[in-house]
Amino acid sequence: MIKKITLIGSGNVAHNLGKAFVLNGFEVVEVYSRTKANAIALADKLDAKYTNNLSEINEESGLYVIATTDNSIEEIAKQLKLKSHFIVHTSGSVSIDVFENKFSHFGSFYPLQTFTKSHQADFKEIPICLEGNNEKNLELLKGLASKLSTKTVELTSAQRQKLHLSAVFVSNFANYMQVIGEELCEEQQVDFDLLRPLIKEVFEKNQKGKAIDNQTGPALRGDSFTMNKHLGLLKDKKELHQLYKLLSDMIQNK
């Protein structure tokens, strides 16, 4: 069973995950960040040691968790001198192949949620997606994850990558649709709050059912009269015009 954990990284995921480990009885023994001040800030919060030197990382932990930006994981893995230890990353988009031939024990520990340092997330409802390089390591990760969350799931790297891509659409891009709506309303001094009941209705319908069954609007109806009016309103906004047309085409082609 895993008891001692070393955290590599000091961003939003590291802050939230580190705190969740401690709150659930695990010991975070050390925090690494290449920026000393960031390492200290998180280490203080977790009552842990800190370092900003990868080659000085302790060798006493049962698990080393890389919670850094996706593009730094491979380089960090190269530099770590922990071949016989157990290492995971928290990335949605990086395959665990990144650890192959460098470590004997490795996997993925991906909590699917948006995190901010300022707000400690409640992990109980957050899905944690797990992968291990063998059955024993997967079981060890399950044991750890199930202490944090009621929703743990085993996913291959390919599945996790598709899930992460889906998350970009359903959260980042869906959020951006609202950014666009806010801007269009501002242009005409229309109170955006007028749209909130509609947004709530769509959200609630989709929590119960599938979005494909709840699609509405001019594109779905093939209402070219209204679509042309809308495109006319966007004629001076090249990218928005293109976006409206592309999405309407995609909905109609379905």
Q: Which residues inside 49-78 make contact with a copy of itself, applying CB under 8 A? A: 69-71
Among 1, 179, 235, 236, contact with a copy of itself (rule: CB under 8 A): 179
* Per CB under 8 A, 22 contacts a copy of itself: no
- Rounded Cα distance, 254 and 251, in Å: 5
Q: Considering only residues 187-246, where is the footprint of a copy of itself by CB under 8 A?
A: 187-192, 194-203, 206-207, 210-212, 214-220, 223, 225-226, 229-230, 233-234, 239-240, 242-244, 246
From 230, 42, 199, select the one nearest 120 (Cα to Cα): 42
195: how many CB neighbours lie within 10 A of its CB?
14
Q: Please give the residues from 92 up to 121 whose contact with a copy of itself meets the rule CB under 8 A.
A: 93, 112-114
* Residue with smaller CB distance to a copy of itself, 62 or 132: 132
HSE on the CB side for 125, CA within 13 Å?
A: 3
In angstroms, the Cα distances linking 218 to 97, 194, 214, 230, 232 are 45, 20, 13, 10, 14
Q: Please, what is the minimum distance in Å from the beta carbon of residue 44 to a copy of itself?
A: 26
From CA 43, how far away is CA 143, in angstroms rounded? 24
Q: In Å, how far are 135, 198, 230 from 221, measured between CA atoms?
A: 50, 18, 15
Nearer to a copy of itself, 12 or 104 (CB): 12
Dihedral sign of CA atoms 214, 188, 176, 234 in order: positive
Three-class DSSP category at 26: coil
CA distance 128 to 21: 13
In the shown chain, the binding pattern of residues 127 to 166 toward a copy of itself, with x for contact by CB under 8 A and - for none, equals x-x---------------------x-x-x--xx-xxxxxx
CB of 189 to a copy of itself, least distance (A): 7
Question: Judged by CB, which is closer to a copy of itself: 44, or 198?
Answer: 198
Q: Between 57 and 129, name the residue whose CB sits nearer to a copy of itself.
A: 129
Each as own residue / partner, the long-range contacts of residues 187-190 (CB below 8 Å, 24 or more positions apart, any chain) are: none
Compare residues 4 and 230 and give the one whose CB is closer to a copy of itself. 230
Q: What are residue 8's DSSP bridge partners?
A: 32, 66
The span of 38-46, 78-86, 140-148, 186-194 binding a copy of itself (CB under 8 A) equals 186-194
Give the type of residue at 119: H
Are 13 and 90 within 8 A, CB to CB? yes
Select from 20, 126, 141, 145 the one that contacts a copy of itself (CB under 8 A). Answer: 126
How far apart are CB 213 and a copy of itself at their closest, in Å?
9
Task: By CB under 8 A, tell whether 247 contacts a copy of itself.
Answer: yes
